[in-house]
Structure 1
Amino acid sequence: MEGGAAPELPAAVQAYLDYVRVEKRLAERTHTLYTLDLCKLLEFAQAAQTPLLALQPAHIRRFAAQMHSSGRSARGIALILSGWRGFFQWAARQALVPLNPVEGVRGPRAPKPLPKALAVEDALQLADHANAEADPWLEARDAAITELLYSSGLRVGELVGLDVAPGPDTERLARGWIDFAAGEAHVLGKGSKRRIVPVGGAALRALQSWLACRAQPFAQGLEPALFIGRRGARLTAQSVWVRLRERARQAGLTTSVHPHVLRHSFASHLLQSSGDLRAVQELLGHASIATTQIYTRLDFQHLAQAYEMAHPRAKKK
């Protein structure tokens, strides 16, 4: 233990650790973590003046609450509970305990991380970036991808599913397409739900520039995908991730940028300007407004930062 020698382990604990070392062939580091977690359980049991093998679910819940109040993360507590659960499962098979006191005990929920969004100026810097030394074909394609992701908040799967045209007839609609006359993107989202989202002027111009050179390297047989690779095949989601990350680096952004960051940025910036949560829900294609409400937390974080910087009474001494 920290600050002293490890306590002598009860025979049951030592037998379990020998079992997992031999039978499960745990790595040395993992075996050490199992040992530390069980030592922690022994400490709790001693503090509760209860033999280890007599612990009840109420004890385990109290121990989890104590770890939470001391600042241990929800993920850390979940891992410790998992280790304890494994020990008591083994003990039950050995008829050392009548029940597993950890079964059914869950640690505290981990807080949902806020979605990462670019600052408005960073998003504009990325969208406005132009690499004069790049291959014009790739530059036109990547610029159109960047503008469309930020302009319309598409998921990357929706983006790569777009075709140049809706299809030869209404019975065989494409997964998605751009209606240039209406300034709209028709996309097929999660759950095979179609939705229509507006496409901004800058994105429409970038898309038209891309379409003007899209077919140039190919003589014939080009597939209907709007975004294609060098060999004429539909661009993959992974390729979009790679190209966007490289474009952000070239634009001088220090933040890691991927397609979902631009989707988050679209939603956050729209909510900051309009305050219309229901409209943002519709544009993102969220089935529940509860999913969209996370952006209100992001928006409040933005407001709180502005308050800290601007209000004379906000600054902490």
Structure 2
Amino acid sequence: METLTLAAAARMIREAVKDRSYRATPLGLEVARYCRWKRNEWGATDATMRDYEASLAKLALFHADLELSGLEPPVGTERLRECWDHYWGERSARTRAKVRSIWVDFFDWAVRERGMRGNPARALAAPKRRDVRRDPFSASFVAQVIAAQSYLPDKLGVILILRYALRRAEISRVRFGDFDFERRQLVVAGKGGRVRLIPIVDEAFWRDLGAVELELQPARTDFLLAGRRRLWHGTRYYHSRGLKPRSVHTWWYDRLEEAGLAGDRESGTRVGLHMHRGRHTVATDILRQTGNIVAAQRLLGHLDVKTTVDAYAQFDAADLARVLASMDREEEVAE
């Protein structure tokens, strides 16, 4: 009798997630129902559904013999802990917290619509995240990246990341029809399907965008960031199909390479300059220049200003020193 190796078992699990054969399990059937609700009624994006389904598929495969009733608390909570530890025990607190959040949402749905008695995921303690410092980019870094871009749509994309704090998924979805020349605004489809209006106050941006539209004559549904193919005589751009969110990471480091700030694709040096730091840069700049944290919250699209304050706006010792020095000067003037 042939022995099933750990490698073969891991491969089987990956394939079951990929081809959705996990849905043959009792719990997998419930995950399928939940995914249909989440996509069609709640309005989750494709990117959100990929994350949610991957986490729930592993849960369904880990407990392939159980139905929803087998995961009711308190026993169900312990069974979730087993799965959590098996797949994500060595992962970061951020990743484990994300998985917990997905499970909470799934079992809330199961309680509401499938008659499950209690949510076993709510008893799981949210992992404490370590205090990770995320330094903003310097002003010279921002200027160098923007100035180096030879393809104008790429330059506009870089500006939207470094000056207007768009997320990776958001920038991948920006279409030419989302720009409102009359109101000088961009309509952004944000996280969780929320839509926000971003005022673009840089007139040079609108001049460049006008030049792009005059040259390319894009349809309103064409994407700002183009899919592309490198040929021996240059690069061919396909704005009709755009970039997938996971391809934006490569696009970003290509932009840094063009600016001489990162290695090429084969060098292995493309780390440490993640585009998400652009959001930290924008929030920090707003705080330093205006002190208006609510404006930073609105621009970044956070529901809670605490997220902006705690995780994005960096206020270091030098900033504090300037505030204290300013207070001293005001006292001297008063005397």
What TM-score, normalized by structure 2, do the two folds share?
0.48
Q: Report the identity percentage.
A: 23
Q: Distance in 2 between matches of 1:261 and 1:105?
A: 30
Q: Distance in 2 between matches of 1:251 and 1:290?
A: 34
Question: Is residue 281–residue 289 contact of structure 1 (8 Å, CA) maintained in 2?
Answer: yes
Q: CA offset at residue 118 of structure 1?
A: 0.4
Q: Distance in 2 between matches of 1:146 and 1:117?
A: 15
Q: CA offset at residue 114 of structure 1?
A: 2.8
Residue 285 (structure 1) aligns with = 301
Q: Aligned Cα RMSD in Å?
A: 3.8
Residue 142 (structure 1) aligns with = 154
SS in 2 for 1:186: strand
Q: Distance in 1 between matches of 2:176 and 2:301?
A: 22
Residue 260 (structure 2) aligns with = 252
Q: Distance in 2 between matches of 1:262 and 1:226?
A: 18
SS in 2 for 1:224: coil
Partner amino acid, structure 2, of 1:142: D
* CA radius of gyration, larger in: 1
Residue 282 (structure 2) aligns with = 266
Q: Distance in 2 between matches of 1:107 and 1:236?
A: 31
Partner amino acid, structure 2, of 1:186: V
Q: 1:267 to 1:210 in 2, by over 3 A?
A: farther
Residue 215 (structure 2) aligns with = 213
1:294 corresponds, among 310, 313, 316, to: 310
1:119 corresponds, among 138, 142, 146, to: 138
SS in 2 for 1:293: helix
Once the two structures are superposed, residues 31-53 of structure 1 have per-residue CA deviations (whole angstroms, 9 ceiling, x without a partner) of xxxxxxxxxxxxxxxxxxxxxxx
Question: Is residue 120–residue 269 contact of structure 1 (8 Å, CA) maintained in 2?
Answer: no
Partner amino acid, structure 2, of 1:270: I
Q: 1:301 to 1:121 in 2, by over 3 A?
A: farther
Question: Is residue 223–residue 234 contact of structure 1 (8 Å, CA) maintained in 2?
Answer: no
Question: Is residue 148–residue 203 contact of structure 1 (8 Å, CA) maintained in 2?
Answer: no
What TM-score, normalized by structure 1, do the two folds share?
0.50
Q: 1:293 to 1:24 in 2, by over 3 A?
A: farther
Q: CA offset at residue 284 of structure 1?
A: 0.8
Q: Distance in 2 between matches of 1:146 and 1:159?
A: 9
Residue 191 (structure 1) aligns with = 192
Question: Is residue 183–residue 198 contact of structure 1 (8 Å, CA) maintained in 2?
Answer: yes
2:223 corresponds, among 222, 225, 229, to: 225
SS in 1 for 2:303: coil
Q: CA offset at residue 112 of structure 1?
A: 3.0
Question: Is residue 286–residue 295 contact of structure 2 (8 Å, CA) maintained in 1?
Answer: no
1:242 corresponds, among 233, 250, 255, to: 250
SS in 1 for 2:276: helix
SS in 2 for 1:197: strand
Q: CA offset at residue 223 of structure 1?
A: 4.6
Partner amino acid, structure 1, of 2:147: D
Q: CA offset at residue 281 of structure 1?
A: 0.5
Matched, 1:128 2:147: yes
SS in 2 for 1:298: coil
Q: CA offset at residue 249 of structure 1?
A: 2.3
Partner amino acid, structure 1, of 2:241: A
Q: Distance in 1 between matches of 2:133 and 2:187?
A: 28
Partner amino acid, structure 2, of 1:248: L
The unaligned stretches of length 5 or more in structure 1 are: 1-22, 27-74, 79-103, 132-138, 166-176, 308-317
Partner amino acid, structure 2, of 1:233: R
Query: How many residues end up aligned between the 2 structures?
Result: 192
Partner amino acid, structure 1, of 2:216: R
Give matches, 1:1-317, under 5 Å. 109-131=128-150, 139-165=151-177, 177-201=178-202, 202-215=204-217, 223-229=221-227, 230-231=237-238, 232-253=240-261, 256-294=272-310, 298-300=314-316, 303=319
Partner amino acid, structure 2, of 1:129: A
The unaligned stretches of length 5 or more in structure 2 are: 8-89, 94-122, 228-236, 263-270, 324-335
Residue 56 (structure 1) aligns with = none
Partner amino acid, structure 2, of 1:238: R
